[in-house]
Every structure is written in C-alpha cells, then in structure tokens.
Amino acid sequence: MKEQIPLRGAVDLAALAKAREMANQPKSAFVVDATDSNFEQLVINKSKEVPVLIDLWAEWCGPCKQLSPVLENLAAQANGAWILAKVDVDHNPQLAQAFQVQSIPAVFLAMAGQISALFTGAQPESAIKEVLVQVLQVAKEQGLAPSLNAETPMITEPEDPADDLILNGDLAGAKKLYEDRLLANPKDQTAKLGLSNVSFLSRTLGQDLKNVALAAVDDIDNRLKFADAQMLIGDFKAAFDCLLESIRQANPDNKEVLKERLLELFDLIEPEHPQLLAARRALASALF
C-alpha cells in the first residue's frame, strides 16, 4: 500500500510540528482502536448512536502521522458528538481488504450502520472541520443524537466569509460567494480553489461511491460519479482517464461539461503532481 500524496492544502511543516505535539497527548475516551475482531461492535453498532470516523493508517505512513493526531484532537474537542475509530491496516488485514483503499491515510464515515468515504490524504485541520460540520448536520437529519455533553467542533473563527458559511453548513451559500468573487475577479485563485473544493464536498459527502463501476464512454452521469469516486480513494489517474476518454468522443455540449469537471478535479491536488501534469497534456491533446 503506497503513501497518499497529500491533496491541495496539505499539512505544512508548522502543522507537522503541531501534530507531533498533539501525538504526545493521551488519547481521549472518544478515540478507539478498531480491529478485525471488534469492528462491528465499536464501529458499526456505535454508528447507530453517533457518527464514527474511521481513520485507516499504518506506522510507516508519514502523512498518517500528520493526520491522526489532528483527528484525535478534534474528537476530544467534540466530546462525544462523534467517535474516532483508528484502524492499523498492517495489523488488520481483513479490514484493509474490505475497504480496498489504494493509499493511506484514508478516512471513512460510519453512520446508521452504513459506511461511506470521506477523504484521503493529510488534510488541513480547517478542511476537516468543514467536513465534520456537514457530518453532524447529516447525523442530525437522520436522528442520531450525540451525548448531552457533546460540543460542535468549531474552535477558531474563520477569516474568510466563505469559510464561515461552510462551518455553518451552508455549502450552497459558500459556493455562491465563491462564484460572485470569481465574477468580480476571474483571477481570484483562492475563490477558484474554494469553489472546486466546495463543489466536490457537496457532491460526495455522505454518498456511497465505493461501488460505482465504470460504464460506457457516453454515459456522462456515470463518468462524473466514477471520477469523484476515484478521487476519494486517491486514484487520480483513473479519475482523470475516465473523463479524458469521454471528452475525446463527446459532442460539444457534453465535452464542455466534462472539461469543466476535469478542470475542477485538477484543483483538488498539488499543481506539480505527475498525474496532473500528464492529464493536462492529455486534455490539451483531446481538445485540439
């Protein structure tokens, strides 16, 4: 299993130092070690009471050592609003095979007995908080009640108004704000990246995309979902290739839809990632 190359906005050296500091702190009561033998009890059954985040990690994985302490700290701050279940994939082969992840760290959500993918890679704390707000909102809609002492994990006041909207669960409002900023200034890269991330989060949060199979090249809806599913598990090449294949054969209207989605997915990973550079060259060839 390969290490996950962090997505755009990955943890920097300062964040790594913070993660090391948090790693020396004792685990809270809301962090559990899930194994092949106790997974059903600690994760599946518990998810019928509160959301359970599943952190797939390994001792050799550098990004895992950045992400895990951040998740543990947020779980402690949440005080029972959600539970963190850590799975060492090297020591739990049955779970590793069941999740079929191609890279770690990988984080999944168990809610009401169902499991769905959340994100891969060592995401920054701010991005994780945005995901958690949406998780708790969905949990509330499904009637899952955290303990009476639980607190929502909103710790710092966001500097960007769009972040404020996201933290309050208003993804549509954040998306519109980013769109308005881009209309006023098409060169606003922060708004461009923010729009891509919010759009991706809106499409994938709480969705079970693990079993989406690749369909015919002209099945545009399937291709878009398949690409999202591959991004979630960190298989960027498969995500890009499925859209590129459709772009080469699509009519002008569908070609534009596919191109815009592909460009949006490009924004989700580091600009110098080799798979991204190769896909940009392939896109240019497909369009001209």
Dist. CA 1–CA 120, nearest whole Å: 13
Which three-class secondary structure string do you get for 40-69? HHHHHHHHHCCCEEEEEECCCCHHHHHHHH
- Which residues have a catalytic role annotated? 61, 64
Kind plus residue range of the DSSP H or E element containing 6: none
Dist. CA 274–CA 40, nearest whole Å: 39
Q: Is the pLDDT confidence value at 255 over 70?
A: yes
Same structural domain, 33 and 109: yes
pLDDT digit string, tens, across residues 152-191: 444 444 457 777 777 666 788 888 999 999 999 888 888 8
| Residue 207: predicted pLDDT | 65
Tell me, what amino acid is at 148? L
| Residue 34: predicted pLDDT | 95
Dist. CA 7–CA 189, nearest whole Å: 16
Dist. CA 233–CA 248, nearest whole Å: 25
88 domain residue, yes or no: yes
DSSP letters spanning 70-121: HHHHHHHHHTTSSEEEEEETTT-HHHHHHHT-SEESEEEEEETTEEEEEEES
Please say whether the beta carbons of 233 and 106 come within 8 A.
yes
| Residue 271: predicted pLDDT | 78
Domain that includes residue 190, residue range:
161-204
Q: Is the pLDDT confidence value at 149 over 80?
A: no
| Residue 26: predicted pLDDT | 45
Same structural domain, 68 and 193: no
At 137, is the pLDDT very low, low, confident or very high (cuts 50, 70, 90)?
confident
pLDDT digit string, tens, across residues 189-199: 888 888 888 88
Last residue of a domain, one of 149, 169, 204: 204
Same structural domain, 19 and 85: yes
